[in-house]
Structure 1
């Protein structure tokens, strides 16, 4: 007799239901979100025939958390069911739209009973692969937080201190650079900045880590701060300066988090056996490669073919056909993180690979927009990555673009 388990997840407790292959309720209980609750769940599973040779699969509406991690550690299949999909299944069993925790757990168990083959279990990634996923996602979130904090500070400075924005506009990272943050912390208002001497500016630049052209950089800042500009009333300007310091502290924390997490990601990623293969691809560095690995995982059975990986990343188009109507559209349901790093990868590959550039130019010549051609290139490179990881081979330009006319010289710009 086959047994299936459904767990309705909540913050402090979970409802558990077990059914057999005929849909008969075998057991139900409510467990706490603690070690005692986990032991209770394992005991309930054992009472229904759970053993190392016949582990009962579990369906739950989340893929994260301690309960999921502990269930995965037992070696059983854990199926994360999308809450939207579970809501659709709920209508199969009742048209009254009633809802309860026990009923939701019953629905999850019946999803496995009727459609187990239509759902994917959590991949069996290695411990190192899971650690890289945590760090890479945290670093990506920190980058987004830094961008948001920088935009808030830039918008605020535009209202009373545009001179600082013009002074750091030539810097690659603008307000996120250590120079801009250090100077703003010392002089949060135009009046304070105009009073800074050359010696003070040199000291601030050295404090920010500047080692070359300190004198010229200090002189450029001094001229920018003393240039005539519009001002807010003195008291308003001082108040806005205090607000700028508060926003600066948020930006400072985000920048520090980005740097520390990036270092941790690079250290962990270099230890992974797939790192050499991933970074052999043009356009993929340590950070972008770690993000690719974090979303793909290192479980080789997760994606049976390159097509499934492309659909997961959203690079493959989706076809909608009904009668005589047929439309090929960009895929909206996808792994957003993998899609985001895919555009960065494809854009960087244009200047690193003659074959990638030729592929992009050929798509553009057919009338495709930049975004579509870039997505198609990402689709091509993703298929090559799946092949290389499956066969443990490094990237080879001649093999990847064997049938594409390649440029004779490396392009200098995207």
Structure 2
């Protein structure tokens, strides 16, 4: 067997090749791209027979995705993507001096895959559909996060010079199209005072009780509020118009990407099973699929899936001290999606609600109870995906039927 440590950077890879005894056979720096991967194959070919199985080549690298990793997997090599923290801990085992270099990192990765491969997770290739879902869902969520950042900046600016706008537009939401149109038309208190009922009503199309809402907004905008000097107000108004323009574009692109999320997710064979889960809609289901992936052998058991999800607890024990804690090292996107699923499931599934109430009866905090609910829902999802069967409340909660009935 051949063991390869690959310390990657944006434009190059430092590679070290070891044999089964730990002897360093070759150290080399390869460029990124086709030229580099071609030289990688040539390098491997020097130390293995022509008819050797590519799976006898084990590669350790601190990333589990991207064109380079995809090329290694396509070549038949066994690729292990390790967490940078894991690699750092193994480097400390090899030497305590604290020295660090790209060549040293490649050496640590090669030694790591040679001595600890049974503890590492092999990169399991997801399907092209799942990869596409991941791309669009992450881009969609990134735009949502970006819109929130700009909304908070807008809120701070309005609070500093135009508090009446915050009070008047609060029921509509600062990122709504109606508020953005009103702020674009009247970004200053002086301009807002001149807004007519017809102008305000024109932005509220599609809402209920438009005349009353428009009158309430106008009344607040025309009431007395603290403000800034005229010159400062003009400066603030110009920055608000820029923020409004950015948020408007983000709103449009979010809608566009949401359509792409729905289209890609709908093509996946597991979409129906995932959508059958309590508390999951199309966008949330796409996020769950994207972050879990769909490689069939990635999760050996429901426990393995829960551990990856970060919903299962960890135990720290030393002597007579034993503490059970939440996992703080996890996939933030996946945890966010599962937390939201658990929150929604409480409102739409009686068995989930009963389970949550039982946990709360033990004086567990809301977030901790939601985490336990999410942990249970991950186990149910694993079973449904394994058998490719939709969620059934009676089957999923049969082991708790007596408790829930009581």
| Structure 2 counterpart of 1:191 | 190
Closer, same or farther: CA 54–71 of 1 in aligned 2, 3 Å: closer
Q: Do 1:5 and 1:59's aligned partners in 2 also have CA atoms closer than 8 Å?
A: yes
| Structure 2 counterpart of 1:318 | 314
Q: Do 2:54 and 2:75's aligned partners in 1 also have CA atoms closer than 8 Å?
A: no
Q: CA RMSD in A?
A: 2.0
1:101 aligns with 2:102: yes
Q: Do 2:54 and 2:76's aligned partners in 1 also have CA atoms closer than 8 Å?
A: no
Find the aligned partners of 2:127 and 2:220 in 1 and give their Cα distance. Answer: 53
Q: 1:198 deviation in Å?
A: 2.9
Q: 1:255 deviation in Å?
A: 2.4
Alignment length, in residue pairs? 402
Find the aligned partners of 1:252 and 1:196 in 2 and give their Cα distance. Answer: 21
Q: Do 1:355 and 1:407's aligned partners in 2 also have CA atoms closer than 8 Å?
A: no
* Cα deviation 1:88-133 (Å, max 9, x = unaligned): 2223333433332222212111111111110002222101111111
Closer, same or farther: CA 132–75 of 1 in aligned 2, 3 Å: farther
* Cα deviation 1:315-362 (Å, max 9, x = unaligned): 111111122211111121222211111111111001110000000001
| Structure 2 counterpart of 1:168 | 169
1:252 aligns with 2:253: no
| Structure 2 counterpart of 1:292 | 288
Q: 1:288 deviation in Å?
A: 0.7
| Structure 2 counterpart of 1:78 | 79
Q: Do 1:358 and 1:407's aligned partners in 2 also have CA atoms closer than 8 Å?
A: no
SS at match of 2:54: coil
Q: Do 1:3 and 1:21's aligned partners in 2 also have CA atoms closer than 8 Å?
A: yes
Instruction: Provide TM-score, normalisation by structure 1.
Output: 0.92
Quick check: 215-224 or 300-309, which moved more?
215-224
| Structure 2 counterpart of 1:411 | none
SS at match of 2:294: coil
Find the aligned partners of 2:88 and 2:209 in 1 and give their Cα distance. Answer: 63
| Structure 1 counterpart of 2:29 | 30
Instruction: Provide TM-score, normalisation by structure 2.
Output: 0.93
| Structure 2 counterpart of 1:177 | 176
SS at match of 1:121: coil
| Structure 2 counterpart of 1:233 | 229
Find the aligned partners of 2:176 and 2:68 in 1 and give their Cα distance. Answer: 41
* Cα deviation 1:114-161 (Å, max 9, x = unaligned): 111100022221011111112112222222111111111111101111
Find the aligned partners of 1:362 and 1:318 in 2 and give their Cα distance. Answer: 21
| Structure 1 counterpart of 2:392 | 396
- Note the residue ranges of structure 2 that are not aligned, 5 or more in a row: none
Q: Do 1:354 and 1:407's aligned partners in 2 also have CA atoms closer than 8 Å?
A: no
Q: Do 1:123 and 1:297's aligned partners in 2 also have CA atoms closer than 8 Å?
A: no
Quick check: 225-234 or 19-28, which moved more?
225-234
Quick check: 333-342 or 370-379, which moved more?
333-342
Find the aligned partners of 1:67 and 1:124 in 2 and give their Cα distance. Answer: 13
Q: 1:211 deviation in Å?
A: 6.7
1:57 aligns with 2:58: yes
| Structure 2 counterpart of 1:412 | none
1:353 aligns with 2:349: yes
1:243 aligns with 2:236: no
Q: Map of 1:328-347 to 2, 5 A cutoff?
A: 328-347=324-343
Q: 1:250 deviation in Å?
A: 3.1
Closer, same or farther: CA 121–42 of 1 in aligned 2, 3 Å: same
| Structure 2 counterpart of 1:113 | 114
Q: 1:61 deviation in Å?
A: 1.5
Find the aligned partners of 1:185 and 1:52 in 2 and give their Cα distance. Answer: 67
SS at match of 2:390: coil
Find the aligned partners of 2:282 and 2:52 in 1 and give their Cα distance. Answer: 39
Q: 1:257 deviation in Å?
A: 3.1
SS at match of 2:348: coil
SS at match of 2:200: helix
